[in-house]
Structure 1
Amino acid sequence: MKRIEKHTFKSKTWALCSLLFVLSFSSCEDTVTLDLETGESRLVVDAEIIWQKGTTGSEQTIKISKTASYYNNTTPKVSGAQVRIENSTGDVFAFNETESGTYVCTDFIPVINMDYTLYVTAEGQSFTAVEKLISVTSIDKVEQKIVPDFGGEDVIELTFYYKDPADEVNYYLTDYQSDFLLFPEYELTDDELFNGNLINNRFSDEDKMKPGKTVNITHRGISKNFYNYMNLLLDVYGGSPFSIPPGNIRGNIVNTTDPNNFAFGYFRLCEADQVSYLVK
């Protein structure tokens, strides 16, 4: 059986609702505020270079922010940073700030298996990271069928198929997005037991996936290091990997000015195949 890790906010949401239900009966007048420890604010670099099949991949975006306390309703954006990526042949791709904390490059050149180095200078600190652009095999087809859930009720299930390349080790990250999902659902897959064979991934939502809804499937090729990082991050957080990290989970971004003042986030370069499926 292939190794698949799926992560969603659903179980977390139910737990939160249960907690709020209990609190509503324990006190009708008092506001409950937990005294949470606030750690040192750190830089968060959301640096995913994603090359959609069928596009040039020339426009890429990197976002830079800072961690904030639990009760802060906004994410502090970091302006004025200098951001660039260099490839192993010496080409330089500058990212210019288009709005607070958002840096865009319009002439990026993606090359499979080429090494790229990220350079960020922000708030007097310099950061760097190195990764390789990983390819992905195309999604061959998406199938829909009715299956019973754990309670015996019929639900719609989507299955997409892709041919894993032979004689190499591959790692994949897939996300499912739709207007009936409050947050994307993420799935990690490796080919340890299915190298060179046809692999299928399945997705269903017993409550909200109905005919007429569109599910956007984005299937990425990722490095082993990023796979391990995502596996740890999703296990701890159980949700979106691109939100503020819940703890001291460090990626591949190194502070060359002060190694102790590390940043959160992970510089990754992924080829991706995307399919939009209309549920029947």
Structure 2
Amino acid sequence: MKFLYKILLSTLVLGVISCTDVIEVEVPEGPIRLTIEASLDWEKGTAGNQQTILLSTSTPYFDSQRNSAVTGATVQVTNNNSRTVFTFTDQNDGSYTTNSFVPVIGNSYTLEVLYEGERYTATETMFAVSDFSSITQSKEDGEDDEALEVNVSFEDPADIENYYFLRFQSRNDQLPELFYVKDEFVDGNEVTFYYEKIEDEGENIKEFEPGDTVDIALLGISEDYHNYLRLLVEQFESAGDAFSATPVALVGNCINTDNPDNTPYGYFRVSEKVERSFTFE
């Protein structure tokens, strides 16, 4: 009987194993496209001559290849007002640098990238930004009156349509907190924003504590970049929401003049910037 029981048990196990099939699901992959990270930010109080542009290619989601740096491209930026051309040198690691860039508020700049026989261009105007008028900490403005928050204020110039990009980067976190700002309802007034972290054990988020440091950047941007940021932030914040729209690849201001169907990813931005670091007490 024991021998018969073992035979029956073995047959059952083999039957279960034989019914297991490996199902291979083909995940659709989009075309490989050039990705342009061209943020030429002029920090107040500096010459702004040292600038870097990063080029890479998009990669499939499940691709184990991490290095997609683009080398061998030709990169230049032209000041459309003075016709001065700034050449960016290939560093053979996906970065292209210059030490001669001249930032001028209100001037228009055009990026040109030549890569694999195709020409990519984008044009932006450099916008000014106000300095911070104050950076403080409190527990008064946020959702949790027991949690520390950092408050930043700046004066918006009157009678000028302004757009801002505000970024908070806690040194304890990998991802920053991004804000896109339009002065439609605050024109000519002092503007204040706060950044607070609500503790969430499931998401491994901890409140700010004394000694924590936050790096803060404020940039003057164009209306087009403001709208691009709005879509980017909305997609990021709705990720994982069952009722959110399906995320799509965002198209920036860069175009392919030789092959319009081969649109690149990324954005070309020229901005004045102020940066500060704040440590909680």
Q: Among residues 163, 176, 181, which one is paired with 2:173 in the alignment?
A: 181
What is the identity, as a one-letter code, of the residue corresponding to 2:88? F
- Whether the aligned pair in 1 keeps the contact of 2:139 and 2:145 (CA below 8 Å) is no
Is 1:50 the equivalent of 2:35?
no
Query: What is the alpha-carbon distance in structure 2 between the residues aligned to residue 33 and residue 210 of structure 1?
Result: 48
Measured against aligned partners, the alpha-carbon deviations of 1:158-193 in whole angstroms (never above 9, x if no partner) come to 111000000011111111112211211111111110
Task: State the shift of 1:105 in Å.
Answer: 0.8
SS in 2 for 1:212: coil
- Whether the aligned pair in 2 keeps the contact of 1:159 and 1:202 (CA below 8 Å) is yes
1:21 aligns with none
Is 1:126 the equivalent of 2:119?
yes
Give the alignment's TM-score, normalised by structure 2: 0.82
* Matched residues, number: 244
1:218 aligns with 217
2:148 aligns with 156
Q: Among residues 79, 84, 87, which one is paired with 1:87 in the alignment?
A: 79
Task: State the shift of 1:238 in Å.
Answer: 3.4
2:56 aligns with 65
1:266 aligns with 267
CA pair 221-126 structure 1, distance change in 2 beyond 3 A: same
Q: How does 1:220-235 map to 2 (within 5 A)?
A: 220-235=219-234
Query: What is the alpha-carbon distance in structure 1 between the residues aligned to residue 92 and residue 207 of structure 2?
Result: 35
SS in 2 for 1:249: coil
Query: What is the alpha-carbon distance in structure 2 between the residues aligned to residue 164 and residue 153 of structure 1?
Result: 28
CA pair 235-33 structure 1, distance change in 2 beyond 3 A: farther
CA pair 148-231 structure 1, distance change in 2 beyond 3 A: closer
Measured against aligned partners, the alpha-carbon deviations of 1:87-128 in whole angstroms (never above 9, x if no partner) come to 021101011122411011111000001000100001221111
The one of the two structures with greater contact order (alpha-carbon pairs below 8 A, sep at least 6) is 1
- Whether the aligned pair in 1 keeps the contact of 2:72 and 2:92 (CA below 8 Å) is no
Query: What is the alpha-carbon distance in structure 1 between the residues aligned to residue 67 and residue 174 of structure 2?
Result: 18
CA pair 189-154 structure 1, distance change in 2 beyond 3 A: same
Give the alignment's TM-score, normalised by structure 1: 0.82
CA pair 237-148 structure 1, distance change in 2 beyond 3 A: closer
CA pair 70-172 structure 1, distance change in 2 beyond 3 A: same
What is the identity, as a one-letter code, of the residue corresponding to 1:255? N
What is the identity, as a one-letter code, of the residue corresponding to 2:125? K
Whichever structure has more strand as a proportion of its residues is 1
- Whether the aligned pair in 2 keeps the contact of 1:83 and 1:103 (CA below 8 Å) is yes
Return structure 1 stretches of 4+ with deviation > 3 angstroms: 30-35, 147-150
1:27 aligns with none
Is 1:190 the equivalent of 2:182?
yes
Is 1:98 the equivalent of 2:95?
no
Gaps of 5+ in 2: 1-20, 199-205, 239-246
Task: State the shift of 1:75 in Å.
Answer: 4.5
Identity of aligned residues (%): 33
What is the identity, as a one-letter code, of the residue corresponding to 1:53? K
What is the identity, as a one-letter code, of the residue corresponding to 1:247? V
CA pair 195-270 structure 1, distance change in 2 beyond 3 A: same
Gaps of 5+ in 1: 1-29, 240-245
Q: How does 1:2-21 map to 2 (within 5 A)?
A: none
1:254 aligns with 255
